[in-house]
């Protein structure tokens, strides 16, 4: 019996429309390195959702690649980046940012989020320091939308963070590897236009959101646009066959797939959340996006694991563990029905 897989949101290839588009253009030829018409068309589609802001859009292959390239291009050697202690750059990227020579200043997060007051405290500590030449200067704030725990920042929280960044001259970088799932959550009061307004740079995830691979970096701050293509190349992040990225993002946005499929995935995840709650099984964190973190006993883990593959997160106590269930662009309603049926039997 093939088990249903819920352990991540990138365990299937791509949306059928993308496969169709790639097949249709397979025998055509294009110039390389993202200078082709498909990358332009993909960028133009994305720009329709930025509220008219002037942006540079660059296509890259993966999230870690984006994170360390954006950060190293923005910071001087003595500058550092602030993030939550659970932030992806801090716990899931094998020291990629540190490998570029930049320190991560990890702040204790609450449900995966950091608050404006924490950022202000860190920035103020440097401002009043008498030994600035002995410590790193925080120059960038990195947050994820949604966070590693599937939680989302409210519009007011983002506005407050933006205000602190403006006060202290900090760049705001938003990791949008799962951006679509956050924007598609019924609890979200943020639009992509809002993301573009509050950030200096952000990216739109494709790898976890319906593409075979790829992320779209959106640079709003003019100072960060200078020489960015050179940083992409220097860091081994420039795809020669760039049109393969452009076609995918053009398809995701021109056909409305990005927003529709991500919203559907978050809706399915909330059905899973409700099923666990009905069974009396508590969430580890209250997420309203496509990632659901629940607390199971070892017996429950073994039972649900007979038919389903989930992601193990951490041990919480004797015989008690946190596990993750993810939906994605490819999640089928009937597969969620099957999972719900098995949850009821726990």
Residues 173-221: tens digit of each pLDDT? 999 999 999 999 999 999 999 999 999 999 999 999 999 999 999 999 9
What span, in angstroms and rounded, lies between the C-alpha atoms of 297 and 303?
A: 10
Q: Clarify whether residues 147 and 288 are in a common domain.
A: no
Q: Clarify whether residues 249 and 262 are in a common domain.
A: no
CA distances from 166 to 170, 209, 336 (A): 6, 31, 44
Q: Clarify whether residues 238 and 325 are in a common domain.
A: no
pLDDT digits (tens, 9 = 90+) for 146-172: 999 999 999 999 999 999 999 999 999
Residue located via tokens 């320091």: 129
What span, in angstroms and rounded, lies between the C-alpha atoms of 66 and 203?
A: 8
Q: Clarify whether residues 186 and 229 are in a common domain.
A: yes
Residues 6+ apart with CB under 8 A from 194: 155, 158
* pLDDT average, residue stretch 91-115: 96
pLDDT in the model for residue 250: 98
pLDDT digits (tens, 9 = 90+) for 220-269: 999 999 999 999 999 999 999 999 999 999 999 998 999 999 999 999 99
Both tokens assigned to 198 = 């509050």
pLDDT in the model for residue 328: 97
Q: 204 - beta bridge partners?
A: 216
Number of domains in the chain: 2
Q: Clarify whether residues 160 and 56 are in a common domain.
A: yes
Domain C-terminal end among 255, 273, 305: 255
When the pLDDT of each residue in the chain is averaged and rounded to a whole number, the result is 97
* pLDDT average, residue stretch 283-288: 97
* pLDDT score of 27 more than 80: yes
Q: Clarify whether residues 148 and 201 are in a common domain.
A: yes
**Domain extent at residue 262:** 4-10+258-343
Cis peptide bond upstream of 146, omega within 30: yes
Q: Using 50, 70 and 90 to split pLDDT, how confident is the model at 99?
A: very high
Query: Pairing between strand 171-175 and 283-285?
Result: unpaired
H or E element, residue 313: strand 311-317
If one counts every other C-beta atom within 10 angstroms of the C-beta of residue 292, the result is 26
pLDDT in the model for residue 1: 73
Q: Clarify whether residues 275 and 244 are in a common domain.
A: no
């Amino acid at each position: 019996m093939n088990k249903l897989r819920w352990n991540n949101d990138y365990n299937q290839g791509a949306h059928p429309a993308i496969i169709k588009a790639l097949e249709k253009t397979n025998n055509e030829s294009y110039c390389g390195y993202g200078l082709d018409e498909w990358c332009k068309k993909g960028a133009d589609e994305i720009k329709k959702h930025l509220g008219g802001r002037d942006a540079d859009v660059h296509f890259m292959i993966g999230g870690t690649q984006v994170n360390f390239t954006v950060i190293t291009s923005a910071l001087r050697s003595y500058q550092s980046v602030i993030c939550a202690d659970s932030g992806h750059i801090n716990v899931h990227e094998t020291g990629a940012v540190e490998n570029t020579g930049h320190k991560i200043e990890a702040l204790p997060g609450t449900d995966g989020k950091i608050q404006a007051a924490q950022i202000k405290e860190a920035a103020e500590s440097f401002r009043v320091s008498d030994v600035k030449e002995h410590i790193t200067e925080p120059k960038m704030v990195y947050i994820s939308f949604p966070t590693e725990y599937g939680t989302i920042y409210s519009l007011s929280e983002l506005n407050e963070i933006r205000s602190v960044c403006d006060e202290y001259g900090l760049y705001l970088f938003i990791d949008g590897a799962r951006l679509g799932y956050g924007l598609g959550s019924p609890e979200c009061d943020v639009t992509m236009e809002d993301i573009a307004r509050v950030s200096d740079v952000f990216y739109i995830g494709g790898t976890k959101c319906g593409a075979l691979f790829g992320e779209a970096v959106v640079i709003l701050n003019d100072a960060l646009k200078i020489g960015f293509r050179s940083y992409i190349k220097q860091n081994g992040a420039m795809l020669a066959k760039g049109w393969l990225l452009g076609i995918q993002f053009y398809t995701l946005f021109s056909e409305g797939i990005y927003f529709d499929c991500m919203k559907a995935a978050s809706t399915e995840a909330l059905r899973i959340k409700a099923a666990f709650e009905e069974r009396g099984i508590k969430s580890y964190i209250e997420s309203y996006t496509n990632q659901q973190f629940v607390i199971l006993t070892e017996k429950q883990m073994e039972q649900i694991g007979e038919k389903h593959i989930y992601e193990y997160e951490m041990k919480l106590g004797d015989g008690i563990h946190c596990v993750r269930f993810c939906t994605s662009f490819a999640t089928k309603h009937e597969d969620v029905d099957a999972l719900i049926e098995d949850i009821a039997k726990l």
